[in-house]
A and B are shown apart, each in its own frame.
Chain A
Amino acid sequence: GQQLNQSPQSMFIQEGEDVSMNCTSSSIFNTWLWYKQDPGEGPVLLIALYKAGELTSNGRLTAQFGITRKDSFLNISASIPSDVGIYFCAGLIQGAQKLVFGQGTRLTINP
Chain B
Amino acid sequence: GAGVSQSPRYKVTKRGQDVALRCDPISGHVSLYWYRQALGQGPEFLTYFNYEAQQDKSGLPNDRFSAERPEGSISTLTIQRTEQRDSAMYRCASSFEVGGRGETQYFGPGTRLLVL
Contact = CB atoms under 8 A, between A and B. Distances in A.
Given A3-B42, A97-B55, A44 B107 contact: yes
A44 B91 CA distance: 13
Contacts, number: 74
B107 A99 contact: no
Contacts of B42: 3-4, 6, 88, 90, 101-104
Interface residues on B, range: 20 to 34
B51 interface: no
Interface residues of A, number: 27
Interface string A70-111: 000000000000000000101010001111111110000000
A45 B3 CA distance: 14
B107 A42 contact: yes
A41 B109 contact: yes
In this complex, the member of A42, A88, A101 whose beta carbon has the largest number of chain B beta carbons within 10 angstroms is: A42
